[in-house]
Amino acid sequence: MDATTGSTVRVTGLVRRFRAGTEPITAVDEVSLEIAAGSVVALTGPSGSGKSTLLHLVGAIEQADSGTVTVDDVEVTALRRAALARYRQRIGFVFQRYHLLPALTVLDNVIAPVLPRRGRVDPVGRARELLDAVGLAGRERSLPTQLSGGQQQRVAIARALMGEPRLLLADEPTGNLDSTTGGQILDLLLDLRDRHGMTILLATHERAIAARCDRLVRLGDGRIVEDVDLTDGEDPADTYDRVSRLRL
Amino acid sequence: MLNFVWGQLRGRAGRSVALLVGVLVATTGFVVLTGATTTSRLAVTGTVARGTDAAYDILVRPKGARTPLEAERRLVQPNYLSGLFGGITTAQYDRVKAVAGVDVAAPIAMLGHSTAPVPTPLDLTDAVDRSLDRQVIRVDPRFVAERGLSGAPGRPRYVYVTTHPLIYPRIDLPQPSDATPYTDGRSYPWAPCGWAAPREVLPDGRTRAVCDPRSALGSPGAYSEREEWSLMAVRLLPDGRFEAGGGVFPDAGSGPSSTSERLRIAVSLTVPLLLAAVDPAAEDRLVGLGGAVVDGRALGPDDTVTVRRRDGEERHTVPVLATSSPFVDEELRASFTRLPAARPAGVELPDLERALRRGRELPAGDGRHDVAAGWRARLAAGVSPDGCCFGQLQAVVQAGPTRYDRLPDGTLRVGALPAADPEVYGDQITFNPYPRPWLAEDTGARSLRKLPLRKGNPRNLLLRGWRAVGVFDPGKLTGFSDLGRVPLETYEPPSAQGADARSRDALGGRPLEPGGNPAGHLAAPPLLLTTLDSVPKLLAGGGSPQLAAPISAIRVRVADVEGYDERSAERVRLVAERIAQATGLDVDITLGSSPAPQAVELPAGSFGRPALRLTENWSALGVASVITKAVDRKSAALFVLVLVVCALFLGNAVAAAVRDRRSELAVLACLGWPARRIAALILGEVAALGLAAGLLALGLAVPLGAALGIDVGWGRALLAVPVALLLALVAGLTPALRAARAHPAAALRPPVATARWVRRPRTLAGLALANLLRTPGRTLLGSGALAIGVAALTLVAAAGYAFRGAIVGSLLGDTVSLSVRGADTLAAVATVLLGAAAVADVLYLNIRDRAAELATLRAVGWTDAALARLIAYEGLLLGALGALAGAALGLGGAAWLAGGLPGALLLVAAAVAAAGVLVTCAAALVPAALLRRLPTARLLTEE
């Protein structure tokens, strides 16, 4: 796996509204945020606070009503449809429910993002490397249904890394996992960040997960209600205490 | 429950409307397409006899010309053309000629009976007593026909033989109004004879007219030849020869008088001759008409009616080929009586008969002459503008068909009719120059009518006649000679043998032949042939319906048919079917017909003929293509395929609709709904949709059918309601039962299973294949629907192109042939389109069920184009599977029918399969377009 550097992300005045029946809902309301390259940022907040929507907007699978998202000097919100697809190829996305393709084996799920494209790199070899990196060597031929939740999420992470992303977006990556497995997944993500320097933006409502991030951004009703730098403490236990005092 | 059903339908309006449209399309299509099955179905009846060699293979007659006997027993009477006067238009004839496979199409237009005089001269030489200076020889004629069984006396003809000189009118000189110049250079008044008559010069130099009573009989057409009587004046010259004016001796020249060694007087019998119009070239090809000409010349393409106008007189002459034999069994027998005391000269007409009866009567011999000999004698003069042969067309008589009563033993009894109205032969103003045939007063078997012809007026006399340009010998026509083997010949004279001892005795062991009565049971064949081009000119202005549709029958010879074999029979059958489809006329296949002796009872005649039991040479039709209203099994099979495809399509749609509601149904099950109630709920919904679609189809089918030129009719359209209901219920039954049986926990399982057959898809196509294998039932359903359509279209296309419209196979029978019809093609194409729609529906459902997966792929960087390619591959694979399977099925079917696998068939199958794939790919564009509207973010969040 090649070493990479993370992307910088700048969100400015981002707004996304939905309509629930006849009621308009503002899921993301004038959010502005800057994320340094290589940092791991936890988006927290109660259900409906706009965490997932903000991730989707940054990941360009949802369109903003106003505001901009700029990733490495590329204004994502201004990209056309084809360019957006190319943008998504350069980021990684991990979902709470993994969203593996049930018809494909583990190995093929990892390859899936590059299946429509024929690159110079051997996708099978790279997929094997990634599976090895996420601890699933030897399970290449398994089907997703034959794996545990944690294993499926590892496959999803490997799949997210297939395009050598500089930005990884993770929406509740441990939400469907027990705490031990969730911790292992976070270990994996942090290890990847350490090895490849990618920027990770993850949505979570778990204190233990959030406490291990570099920064915690708490959302409420679509707005940023708290933005805490968690790297200033020497002791991780202190950080955990600080996070524990926060209302996630 | 009904409220619940209504609520469900309303709550899922989109899916409800989609299902309703599906049922509507299927039902309307089925009703409209099946409407086309009853328009021109040809059923083949009868078995094929071998060993026949007719001049033609197919007989085309006007619609409705087939008699009940033919329809029921496949029996055709001898001289089947009698009674058929037009009914086929020249446009229909042109369409018959244009039918592929027709070698010769020979039309014949029966026009009616003309009458012509046939001389039956009687030799009175020996009846003359040369010792007398004056005497009268009375000739008592007896008209005899039908082997002597019918006979009737005629009025006597008188011949006044005098040794005194006779002077004769000069009709070649200008005629004053009431007097005529005579050979003695003087003029004499017409009185007392009413017309110029020979005059006897008495020893004292006075002259006395010898009146001929014929001048007082009126127009000849208005009386029978039996009623004609005459007085001829003949001088016995001192040298023993006889001298008479024009018209007395049969071979008299054109001068006012002539002499003869023998006293032979010209007596004529009026013989009906059936006039028909043909295409000389076609007739030549069909029966060798040109080769049968024995005198004069053949009819040419330029022969048509000639019109000459002179002195307020218009003469229309129809050129004909006249027969060498009149085929009339008739003769004149006469007894001669010498009347030594009769002195008719100078006796006025009212007293003439009495004067001729005066004095002694001395038998003076007898004589006889038959029509055949008379006709031969007439022909012997040779065809010339002044000689042989001519006849009148002032009164043309058309005879209808014979009517039969069927007796229990199978015998046919000829229905007797009273003698026809004599006026059909002419009245006092018709100017028919010949008396009507004596036998016309006999009991008849056919009704007669006069062919309506334009009439002249006193200032512009219109005289029509025919004149022979040549003579043909029917015996030299192809296929004429062997009566026992060749049925349905156009020119074969009918002949009937006595069927029992009494009849045989009566006939003297000889066959009964036509007797010269146009209304008689045995009718002579066409004996005067003119050109079709003459018909419009002959009929113009007369008001005859035959002017618009002159042709009575078309005899068709099919190309590449040599004798009878199964392949030829099938080829002929196909051509017959095409002709019937192209023209709507009655079509019978004569190939394979055979003689069928038929017992017929002929009632007694008015002139002595006893009732006879006869055996006639009828023909049994081998195979007939009869237009029926039966359901076309071939087309119906295609339409059933349409219905099957529709059912598959709907089954898929209903199954998907049910699958959509898995969780909702599971909740109902958890709430305690019994399985049957859940099934009833689903079936209630689809039944409601089916009923609504049926009612809509009822309204749509008739106008849609009218737009497509298919007669649907409201009766058939009513079928739409039960068909739609049934279709919807059949389609919904399986999904309803499955939903009812399913455990509530099933709702928790993913809608699309994982692959059962795991291979590593390294390409988009591989992934598409893997996806299809995840829903094998749905995949089979979609591709199966397409396969049915492609198979149907392959069969129809194979019939249309590989075999130029017909599969002529190794098997004989109705199911062998597939003749391409518009409705068939429509049905096949509709089936393919429905199959393609089924594939598109499968793809759409796949997209719906795998929406989250597709959203994931988009989220991980797949472009819209890549996703569309994935769906396109799925469509392509489904299409290829269906098209190849369908083409193989169609190919197999066509090969079985054709008895082989020609290269053209493979090409057709390949073309149809390619078309099926293309149509499917086109149909796949619709669901592929839906991909762009996938709510990616929502899908990823919800799942």
Going by pLDDT thresholds of 50, 70 and 90, the confidence category of residue B625 is very low
Residue A97 at interface with chain B, using a CB cutoff of 8 Å: yes
Query: Which residues in chain B have their CB less than 8 angstroms from residue A160's CB?
Result: 860
- B647: number of Cβ within 10 Å: 17
pLDDT, tens digit, 9 for 90 and up, residues B420-457? 888 888 887 778 888 999 999 998 999 999 999 888 77
**Are the CB atoms for B479 and B402 separated by under 8 Å?**
no
Q: Which of A12-21, B910-919, B930-939 has the lowest mean pLDDT?
A: B930-939
How far B738 CA lies from chain A's nearest CA (Å)?
A: 24
**Are the CB atoms for B329 and B272 separated by under 8 Å?**
no
Percentage of residues of chain A with pLDDT beyond 70? 90
Q: What is the pLDDT of residue B298?
A: 92
**DSSP per residue, B866-914:** HHHHHHHHHHHHHHHHHHHHHHHHHHHHHHHHHTS--HHHHHHHHHHHH
Mean of the pLDDT values across residues A2-17? 83
Query: Which residues in chain B have their CB less than 8 angstroms from residue A97's CB?
Result: 943
Tokens standing for residue B238: 């001192």
How far B769 CA lies from chain A's nearest CA (Å)?
A: 10
User: Mean pLDDT, chain A, as a whole number?
Assistant: 85
Q: Which of B754, B763, B863 minimises the CB distance to A85?
A: B863
Q: Do A159 and B860 touch (CB under 8 A)?
A: yes
Query: Which residues in chain A have their CB less than 8 angstroms from residue B773's CB?
Result: 103
DSSP state of B302: T
Q: Which of B232-236, B267-271, B334-338 has the lowest mean pLDDT?
A: B267-271
Judge whether B718 lies within some domain. no
A156 vs A159: CA distance, rounded Å: 5
Q: Do B864 and A81 touch (CB under 8 A)?
A: yes
Residue B852 at interface with chain A, using a CB cutoff of 8 Å: yes
pLDDT, tens digit, 9 for 90 and up, residues B85-101? 899 999 999 999 999 88
- A133: number of Cβ within 10 Å: 18
Q: Which of B335-339, B407-411, B708-712 has the lowest mean pLDDT?
A: B708-712
Tokens standing for residue B912: 């149809």
Q: Which of B330-334, B702-706, B761-765 has the lowest mean pLDDT?
A: B761-765
Query: Which residues in chain B have their CB less than 8 angstroms from residue A142's CB?
Result: none
Instruction: Give the 3-state secondary structure of residue B52.
Output: coil
Going by pLDDT thresholds of 50, 70 and 90, the confidence category of residue A172 is confident
How far B742 CA lies from chain A's nearest CA (Å)?
A: 22
Q: What is the pLDDT of residue B37?
A: 53
pLDDT score of A13 more than 90:
yes
Going by pLDDT thresholds of 50, 70 and 90, the confidence category of residue B797 is confident
Q: What is the pLDDT of residue B862?
A: 86
Q: What is the pLDDT of residue B636?
A: 61
Q: Which of A156-160, B540-544, B790-794 has the lowest mean pLDDT?
A: B790-794
Q: What is the pLDDT of residue B809?
A: 33
Query: Which residues in chain A have their CB less than 8 angstroms from residue B846's CB?
Result: none
Q: Do A99 and B940 touch (CB under 8 A)?
A: yes
Judge whether B848 lies within some domain. yes
Residue at which a domain ends, from B344, B366, B388: B366
ipTM of the complex: 0.81
How far B919 CA lies from chain A's nearest CA (Å)?
A: 25
DSSP state of B624: E
pLDDT score of B822 more than 80:
no
**What Rg value do the Cα atoms of chain A yield, rounded?**
18
Distance of CA B234 to the CA centre of its chain: 57
Q: What is the pLDDT of residue B943?
A: 45
Per the structure, the complete domain to which residue B231 belongs is given by: 116-273+329-366
Query: Which residues in chain A have their CB less than 8 angstroms from residue B750's CB?
Result: 102
How far A89 CA lies from chain B's nearest CA (Å)?
A: 4
**DSSP per residue, B750-775:** -SSPPPSS-----SHHHHHHHHHHHS
User: Mean pLDDT, chain B, as a whole number?
Assistant: 81
Q: What is the pLDDT of residue B556?
A: 92
Q: Which of B177-191, B391-405, B507-521 has the lowest mean pLDDT?
A: B177-191
Backbone φ and ψ of B162, nearest 5°: -130, 150
Q: What is the pLDDT of residue A118?
A: 66
Residue at which a domain ends, from B338, B366, B394: B366
Whether the link from the prior residue into B211 is cis, omega within 30° of 0, is no
Judge whether B525 lies within some domain. no
Mutate to test the interface with B, among A49, A101, A155, A169 (most CBs of B within 10 A): A101
Q: Which of B773, B852, B860 minimises the CB distance to A88?
A: B860
Mean of the pLDDT values across residues B117-141? 93
Q: What is the pLDDT of residue B542?
A: 86
Q: How many domains does chain B have?
A: 2
Q: Which of A61, A116, A145 minimises the CB distance to B859?
A: A61
Query: Which residues in chain A have their CB less than 8 angstroms from residue B870's CB?
Result: 116
Judge whether B42 lies within some domain. no
Residue A145 at interface with chain B, using a CB cutoff of 8 Å: yes
Judge whether B652 lies within some domain. no
Judge whether B614 lies within some domain. no
- Encode A21-54: b = buried (16+ Cβ within 10 Å), e = exposed: eeeebbbbbebebebeebbbbbbbbeeebbbbbb
How far A29 CA lies from chain B's nearest CA (Å)?
A: 18
Can you say whether the dihedral through the CA atoms of B576, B579, B581, B584 is positive or negative? negative
Judge whether B775 lies within some domain. yes
Residue A83 at interface with chain B, using a CB cutoff of 8 Å: no
A165 vs B861: CA distance, rounded Å: 11
Q: Do A145 and B754 touch (CB under 8 A)?
A: yes
Q: Select the highest-mean-pLDDT range: B16-25, B274-283, B820-829.
A: B274-283
Q: Do A61 and B856 touch (CB under 8 A)?
A: no
**Are the CB atoms for B124 and B263 separated by under 8 Å?**
yes
pLDDT score of B13 more than 60:
yes
pLDDT score of B326 more than 90:
no
Mean of the pLDDT values across residues B377-404? 86
Q: Do B941 and A86 touch (CB under 8 A)?
A: no
Q: Which of B50-54, B671-675, B701-705, B785-789 has the lowest mean pLDDT?
A: B50-54
Judge whether B129 lies within some domain. yes
Q: Do B860 and A59 touch (CB under 8 A)?
A: no
Pairing of strands B230-236, B157-162: parallel
**DSSP per residue, B807-844:** ---SS-STTT-----HHHHHHHHHHHHHHHHHHHHHHH
B200 vs B344: CA distance, rounded Å: 10
Q: Do A105 and B943 touch (CB under 8 A)?
A: no
A160 CB-contact burial (10 Å; exposed 0-12 / middle 13-18 / buried 19+): buried
Q: Select the highest-mean-pLDDT range: B106-115, B182-191, B679-688.
A: B106-115
pLDDT score of A33 more than 90:
yes
What residue type is assigned to position A70 of the chain? T
- Which parts of B225-292 are beta strand (E)? 230-236, 242-245, 257-260, 264-265, 268-278
Pairing of strands A167-171, A199-203: parallel
Residue A18 at interface with chain B, using a CB cutoff of 8 Å: no
Residue at which a domain ends, from B312, B338, B366: B366
pLDDT, tens digit, 9 for 90 and up, residues A78-108? 988 888 888 888 889 888 888 888 878 899 8
Mean of the pLDDT values across residues B536-560? 90
For chain B, what is the total number of helices (H) and then of strands (E)?
22, 35
Domains delineated in chain A: 9-90+165-245 (3.40.50.300), 104-164 (no CATH)
How far A92 CA lies from chain B's nearest CA (Å)?
A: 7
- B292: number of Cβ within 10 Å: 24
The residues facing A33 across adjacent strands are A11
Mutate to test the interface with B, among A55, A61, A111, A147 (most CBs of B within 10 A): A61
Q: Which residue of A has its CA nearest to B863?
A: A85
Percentage of residues of chain B with pLDDT beyond 70? 84
Q: What is the pLDDT of residue B563?
A: 67
pLDDT, tens digit, 9 for 90 and up, residues B566-610? 677 778 888 888 898 888 888 888 777 767 778 899 999 999 999
* Model pTM score: 0.56
